[in-house]
Each structure stands twice: as structure tokens, then as C-alpha cells.
Amino acid sequence: MKLIAKSAEMQSISESHRLAGKKIAVVPTMGYLHEGHISLIKKAKELADVVITTLFVNPTQFAPNEDFEKYPRSPERDYNLAQENGSDYLFNPATEEMYPGGFHSAINMTGITDKFEGEKRHNHFNGVATVVAKLFNITKPHIAVFGQKDYQQTLAIYQLVRDFLFDLKVVVAPTIRENDGLAMSSRNVYLSSAEREKAGVIYKSLSDALLVIEKGENRRKIINAVLHNTLRSVHEIKIDYASAADADTLEEPDVFLPGEHVILVIAVYLGKTRLIDNALITIPNDPHIKKHYFV
């Protein structure tokens, strides 16, 4: 695997692969790689000839009060993991390479990004969209692989690709979880061992809500109450939001109709650590027929 730090070099490598008729997939990450990231690299390898993993902790998607400085970093370990799992390139630019003096452009997103994460994390999706657009122009992919773990981010990326006519296909891969259901995240390292033991409650609350929907519940208030009640069983949890929403628009109707796709979205603080998770389900036509869902 080749390590690339300069955008111009990455662009010329990607261009030559394109000219040779190779299909390129990119996996954007902020590093501190875990099984979730690795599943995306493996998916990219299945779908393309050339896999570029990008590693960049993007300052513009963190608010000033957030964890940019202390975000966990392990570039050497990341290099080895990316290589072992089939990545052909690791694009790891310095901040000045991505945001050189004189960089004054930013993408401003509205709509799907106004709620939930966008409401709680000011400017977050503008930072994500700006860096992802740059990474697309640098790596010139045919395919870009993202995780369902950041569900609203996947909607934002679809929107970005539509709005700016990026000529690539977005692929979303399922959330990889620990044994107790906790979604893998680079931020899980912040949890104390006592907090870690309690973190499974996030998955439990999603599972409880999925179960009542499966049994025929379609009123948002009741579904949300199930999410909240389970989360509240752990006193150390502070709920940022926990809600059912339309999976395509993130609208929050009072009642979901049969056949509608619903996303359950959660953000909580466990101690000082902010964790997010989600689960997707289709409202059953007949409450007695179990529907496929995945979390």
C-alpha cells in the first residue's frame, strides 16, 4: 500500500488508474480504524479494482467546543490495518494540504442537514460536505463507501452528490457492532470501563423500539417514549435526541404509514462522551408479519 500526503500526487495516480480503465473506490475516514472502517475497506475492495482509504481528521466539521484536539489518532496502526485489509493507497494529508492559506470556500448545506446532528453540531455538515467534495476531487472515485452508523451523514452525501453532479456512486454499508450491540466508533475509547459496561443500552433502546414497531406500533410519540424509557434506565446517560423519523426526509409525522421507511436516530452523552446510533425499519403492512430490518 502506498502512503500519499499530497493532493496533486493522489490526483495524478487516480487519473492514471482511470486512463487504464480501473474502477476506483474511496473510503473516507478520520482514522483510529476499527472493524467498522475495515468493513468499508473490504466492501470497497469487492466493488472496485483500486481502493483509496483517506485518513484526515477534518477540523472544519468540529465546533470549537468539540473534541478535535483530543480525537484519537494512530496513523501507523491505521496504515497497517488499511494495508492488511486490501487498501491500495492511504491518502493522509496534513491540515495545511487540505486547507492551505487562502482557502476560503465552503459548502453550505440546508434541508436534510438542519435537524438532529445538524441542529446539535453547528456547521458540522458544512464541514463534512466541504472536505468530502475535496476528497472526491482528489481521489476521483467511481464509488464512495460510507457507513450507516452516520445515517444522517449518508443522506447529506447523497444530497451533495446530487446537487454538485459528482459522477460517482455512493454505497452505504451496515453498522458493525460490539458483542453487546454498541456501534463501533473511534470515540468509544473515551468511555471509562464503568461507562463502557452501560453503553449497550443505546442498542437496547433501538432494539426495544424496533420490537414495538414490528408488533404494530406506528405512533411516533409512543415509539419515541420507548427509546427514551430504555435510555433513561441508565442514569449516566443524557439524551441529546432520540426519535423516529422518515428515513428519506427526516420529517417527523405523528403516525407512520405501512410500507414507510423509518429511521430511529439517537445521540446521547454517556458521561462526557457523545455517541450516536440508528436503526432502519419498514413499517409492516400487517403487524403480525415480521419485516426485515437492520441496525
Q: Which is nearer to ligand AMP, 149 or 198 (CB)?
A: 149
The single residue of 37, 122, 235, 288 carrying the catalytic annotation is: 37
Mark the segment that binds ligand AMP (CB under 6 A) among 145-153, 215-223, 239-247, 266-274.
145-153
Residue 173 sits at φ, ψ, to 5 deg, of -110, 150
Q: Which is nearer to ligand AMP, 66 or 260 (CB)?
A: 66
Contact predicate 177/184, CB 8 Å:
yes
Contact predicate 129/161, CB 8 Å:
no
At 3, which helix (H) or strand (E)? Answer: strand 2-4
Looking up cell 441529546 gives 240
Query: Minimal distance in Å, beta carbon 138 to ligand AMP?
Result: 16
- Is 124 one of the binding residues for ligand AMP (CB under 6 A)? no
Query: Minimal distance in Å, beta carbon 291 to ligand AMP?
Result: 22
Whether 142 sits among the annotated catalytic residues: the reply is: no
- Judged by CB under 6 A, the residue of 44, 129, 171, 176 near ligand AMP is 176
Mark the segment that binds ligand AMP (CB under 6 A) among 73-81, 107-115, 163-171, 176-184.
176-184
- Is 183 one of the binding residues for ligand AMP (CB under 6 A)? yes
- Is 82 one of the binding residues for ligand AMP (CB under 6 A)? no
Residue 45 sits at φ, ψ, to 5 deg, of -65, -35
Which DSSP symbol is given to 218?
-
Contact predicate 175/277, CB 8 Å:
yes
- Is 190 one of the binding residues for ligand AMP (CB under 6 A)? no
Distance CA 22, CA 41 (A): 17
Sign of CA dihedral 87, 91, 92, 95: negative
Query: Minimal distance in Å, beta carbon 48 to ligand AMP?
Result: 16
| Contacts of 92-97 spanning 24+ positions with Cβ under 8 A | 92/3, 92/4, 92/5, 92/54, 92/55, 92/56, 93/5, 93/6, 93/7, 93/56, 94/5, 95/59, 97/5, 97/6, 97/7
- Is 112 one of the binding residues for ligand AMP (CB under 6 A)? no
Radius of gyration of the chain (CA): 19
Query: Minimal distance in Å, beta carbon 141 to ligand AMP?
Result: 13
Query: Minimal distance in Å, beta carbon 94 to ligand AMP?
Result: 18
Q: Which is nearer to ligand AMP, 39 or 218 (CB)?
A: 39
What are the residues binding ligand AMP (CB under 6 A)? 29-30, 36-37, 39-40, 146-147, 149-150, 173, 175-176, 183-186
The set of catalytic residues is: 37
